[in-house]
Structure 1
Amino acid sequence: MELGSQIRAVRSTRVLLGSELRPAVVTIKDGKIHQILTDSNFSGDEVLDVGDSVVMPGLVDSHVHVNEPGRTMWEGFWTATRAAAAGGVTTIVDMPLNSVPPTTTLANFQEKLREAMGKCFVDTAFWGGVIPGNELELQPMVRAGVAGFKCFMIHSGVDEFPHVTDGDLHTAMRHLQGTGTVLLFHAEKEVQNATQGPDDPCQYSTFLQSRPDVMETEAIRIVTQLCLQYQVRCHIVHLSSAEPLKLIREAREAGAPVTVETTHHYLSLRAEDIPAGATQFKCCPPIRSSANQEELWSALKAGDIDMVVSDHSPCTPDLKRLETGDFTQAWGGISSLQFGLPLFWTSACRRGFALPDVVRLLSHNPAQMCRLDHLKSRLAPGFDADLAIWDPEREFEIIEENIHHRNKLTPYLGMKLQGAVRGTLVRGQLVFWEGQFSPEPLGQHLLIHQKRNQAQL
């Protein structure tokens, strides 16, 4: 089957239909799923027979820092979306930082769209940003199609995306009421009792003690109060601490429309295992203890955490300060966009999670959060023919030459994982197959327009 071609149908002995793996043929017409046939006698040209590989909805990664324009040496649309395709991810949502300019005005959003044009191998949507003083830009960006907005409650790491005060949040919430959009929070708040811990900046414990659980708890306390007051949808990104989960449960029970994600690194990596000077493990909030990690897994099983995403936040190797091993000076961010599916599955299958859980947590719930669930994340007629084709039992090792991110530095290098992606279809087009990519990018921009309450904008 030729890469980049429109596939007429995909046949497998293991198609994930609801909660069951069944032999089926997924037929495709005009980029949409046309029919799902359980009669395997279907034949014809442009039919991709994948044997017993699992066919399921493509992943939706709603937390990806692409960094273009402005910091394209960190990551760009061409490299990021190829990595996504190699990982069975068919849709990404780009964060409003660390690009220069950040996506905090309508003009900057339009510049982002121009930069991304013709460079995306998978479909791409875009977050806007809330910063102090940009409240009059929010509704124009909603009308232009951003998926929602992200803000920081602590220094973002880049000066061009300043963090918001409580007053800024009240102002932003008033401007977002009635729009149907969502406000995402990097939920850490500076607190009095955060300490620097031991003196040695090369010890991971020094960094970990400088970002204690209480920073997330206090930030989430504010988020839940605002969510209840304004009834604007709120989403907590990259939850690393299990301690604030009680606050989130209580807010939901009181009627707050709040959702929460965690990331692959919090579910796969443990503070106890991080060597001195291994700054490729630094991220914010930090990777915490194994006991905390098990609480996150329990919360996923209980439904208290809604989704798992990558928070792919790469940089150039020099910014990781590997030559000094100084955690306090290194850039905080982990590259994992390509490996989310096997990272999750390797740990999840050992904890009793099944393939329908993978689709729910890595595809459907992220799509729903950013209002793409009418197009993405389901194997059903009328939905986009976005398919991930993979072998859950196959093991592989992450080696540098197989990493498609622009910069290869990742804490997962050398890790052996379970679950290898064979192929990826985006709207019925074969964009990745057995290590090779379509000759040209075939992804589209996804502009998300809210019809309900449009008169209020």
Structure 2
Amino acid sequence: MSQTPASRQPFLGVPSSQSSGAVPYFRPFLVVVVAILITSIISWQHSRTMYKNTPSYSSFPCRSFSVVSFPFVLRSTRVVTENGTFPASIFVDRNGLISRVVSGLVEDSSWGCLHDVGNFVVMPGLIDPHVHVNEPGTDSEGFNTATLSAAAGGTTLIFDMPLNSHPACTTYESILEKSRIANSRQLWVDVGLIGGMIPGNLETLSDQVFRAGVMALKSFTIDSQAYDFPPVSIHEVEQVMLALRNLSIDGEMRYMIHAEIAPPGFSPNNYEGPSRSYMAFMRSRPDSFEVRAVQALIELSRKIDCPVYIVHISSADAAELVKQAKEEGIPIFAETCTQYLAFAADDIPDGHPEFKCVPPIRPNGNRKRLLRYLLQDNLFDVIASDHAPATPGEKCLEQGNVRMAYAGISGLQYRLPAVWTALRSYGVTFEQLAYWLSLSPAKIFHVDDRKGRIASGMEADFVIWDPESLFNVTESSCYFRHKKSAFIGKQYFGEVKETFLRGSRIFKSDAERGKLGTIVQQPRGVVIRNRLLEK
């Protein structure tokens, strides 16, 4: 309740020489005081009833850089839901869950803090099922920096791949150790663990699935260049798929495959051409490697009726096979990655190993075909980052040696703006982006009962971003451990403004105050488990 300004109050006291005239003023003053007390008591009792056990709340608009307190209402003119994008108000309760979504912009802030983000787009927090955290065992990244860069990029759930860490999550004990280490770190976003399937590991499959808590399994069909993660043969892939189908989870535990098959005698770093040439490296991993592997996996899915998830498809020829398989009704999930949509081999100059990844980035004609499969044929289920960091020495940056450089790109933080920039001129919708980056991976990996959508009962995970904002990617704005990446120095539309995890703001851009840094609040991430384990 607003109070009367001091200059207009009915009683301020009188000089002692006029004390006899004070009595007429005392009664109105007493009435005002009593009225204020009664009003305050009623207001306090009302708030106590409505917000009992609520940590904190404020029935006024949230300040620009204040902590958004529970409960609160998040409103925008562009909220992305399964039913379209429209002005809406999202009510978040004190448990960090979405209570309801109301069409239109509410004015009443009696629910709690009112956080109005104007015309910024509000989408469900992004999910990236293909991230290499590389901890323990390396200095290339870690759970703290990986999840921090995820938060800065609007991602609220990552799946950690079993590669370049020792041990590489290929046994029951190693998965438990990885989970213990992850839980001991500062996790800014939620983390799911992927288990590795290697030759001779089939007998421990049920232990990995039911006791270690992995979200999915992964294998390579080509040399991964990791001594503790050797490739599997197609026959071994078949054995894993049969086991998954016959387990009580009915094949719903996803089997993720790095799909390349090389001819006998293949060696990753032994190929013809200048060591600094990206095109020479690209030719050493031709489309035929992917085509051969994808064709074999399609045949297995047709034969066994067990779905497989093909990671990072870079070849349009391989994508054509996936398209035909899906039209036939064969169960298969297809993932492509940011770098295959954002870059083309034709534009990569020699001596820039920061662009090296496997499978390689291919020519612009191939990129345009991938875009067509994505936008016109609805071929791809997920756009992931395949965030695969390395130290500057491992990337051979000083020498510019593409041949000997580690194959991987750090791109977790820039997935949303890079994908949006690559697709915006083709008329892509916010709903399509939310599908590839949030909803579809949530469904594939069975977390769609809590994540991937802005709807009642879901966790209040949000990314708030400006699709019209053009910004420069600089080393000072990177949160991953080593500030070298193919994305550095680029310009993208779609700056991430804020990220929320279960209703808590874990990231806020500080650009509006003229700073390159950010304001990041207390981390809240956890290591999650697959709900299939509860069956």
Shared topology, TM-score over 0.5?
Answer: yes
Q: Which residue of 1 aligns with 2:281?
A: 207
Q: Distance in 2 between matches of 1:303 and 1:383?
A: 26
Matched, 1:286 2:360: yes
Q: Distance in 1 between matches of 2:327 and 2:531?
A: 29
Which piece of structure 1 moves more, 187-196 or 164-173? 187-196
Q: Which residue of 2 aligns with 1:26?
A: 90
Q: Is the 8 A contact 1:7 1:48 kept in 2?
A: no
Q: Distance in 1 between matches of 2:118 and 2:430?
A: 18
The structure having more radius of gyration, on CA atoms, is 2
Q: Distance in 1 between matches of 2:404 and 2:387?
A: 19
Matched, 1:188 2:253: no
Matched, 1:69 2:69: no
Q: Is the 8 A contact 2:447 2:531 kept in 1?
A: no
Q: Which amino acid in structure 1 is aligned with residue 157 of structure 2?
A: T
Q: Which residue of 2 aligns with 1:106?
A: 172
Higher relative contact order (CA 8 A, sep 6+): 1
**C-alpha distance 437-69 of structure 1, shift in aligned 2 (>3 A):** farther
Instruction: Return the offset for 1:255.
Output: 3.4
Q: Distance in 1 between matches of 2:351 and 2:466?
A: 35
Q: Which amino acid in structure 2 is aligned with residue 323 of structure 1?
A: E
Q: Which residue of 2 aligns with 1:442?
A: 524
Matches within 5 A, 1:214-363: 214-301=288-375, 302-363=377-438
**C-alpha distance 194-130 of structure 1, shift in aligned 2 (>3 A):** closer
**C-alpha distance 403-5 of structure 1, shift in aligned 2 (>3 A):** farther
**C-alpha distance 316-346 of structure 1, shift in aligned 2 (>3 A):** same
Q: Is the 8 A contact 1:143 1:449 kept in 2?
A: no
- 1:358-404 deviation line (CA, Å, top 9, x unaligned): 10111111112211122111111011111111111001000000000
Q: Which residue of 2 aligns with 1:137?
A: 204
Q: Distance in 2 between matches of 1:135 and 1:253?
A: 32
Instruction: Return the offset for 1:197.
Output: 6.6
Q: Distance in 1 between matches of 2:201 and 2:351?
A: 39
Q: Which residue of 1 aligns with 2:8?
A: none
Tell me, which stretches of 5 or more residues in structure 1 are unaligned? none
Which piece of structure 1 moves more, 144-153 or 432-441? 432-441
**C-alpha distance 242-46 of structure 1, shift in aligned 2 (>3 A):** same
Matches within 5 A, 1:375-414: 375-414=450-489
Alignment coverage as a number of residue pairs: 452
Q: Distance in 2 between matches of 1:114 and 1:19?
A: 40
Q: Which secondary structure state, in structure 2, belongs to the residue aligned with residue 155 of structure 1?
A: coil
Q: Which amino acid in structure 2 is aligned with residue 370 of structure 1?
A: F
**C-alpha distance 36-243 of structure 1, shift in aligned 2 (>3 A):** same
Q: Which secondary structure state, in structure 2, belongs to the residue aligned with residue 243 of structure 1?
A: helix
Q: Is the 8 A contact 2:387 2:410 kept in 1?
A: yes
**C-alpha distance 336-416 of structure 1, shift in aligned 2 (>3 A):** same
Q: Distance in 2 between matches of 1:111 and 1:4?
A: 35
> Normalising by the residue count of structure 1, what TM-score does the alignment of the two structures yield?
0.95
Q: Which secondary structure state, in structure 1, belongs to the residue aligned with residue 346 of structure 2?
A: helix
Instruction: Return the offset for 1:146.
Output: 1.2
Which piece of structure 1 moves more, 135-144 or 376-385? 135-144
Q: Which amino acid in structure 2 is aligned with residue 11 of structure 1?
A: R
- 1:193-239 deviation line (CA, Å, top 9, x unaligned): 98977531111111011000000000111111111222222011000
Q: Which amino acid in structure 2 is aligned with residue 126 of structure 1?
A: L
Instruction: Return the offset for 1:250.
Output: 2.9
Q: Distance in 2 between matches of 1:192 and 1:293?
A: 29
Q: Distance in 2 between matches of 1:210 and 1:334?
A: 18
- 1:22-58 deviation line (CA, Å, top 9, x unaligned): 2221011212110112351131433322122111111
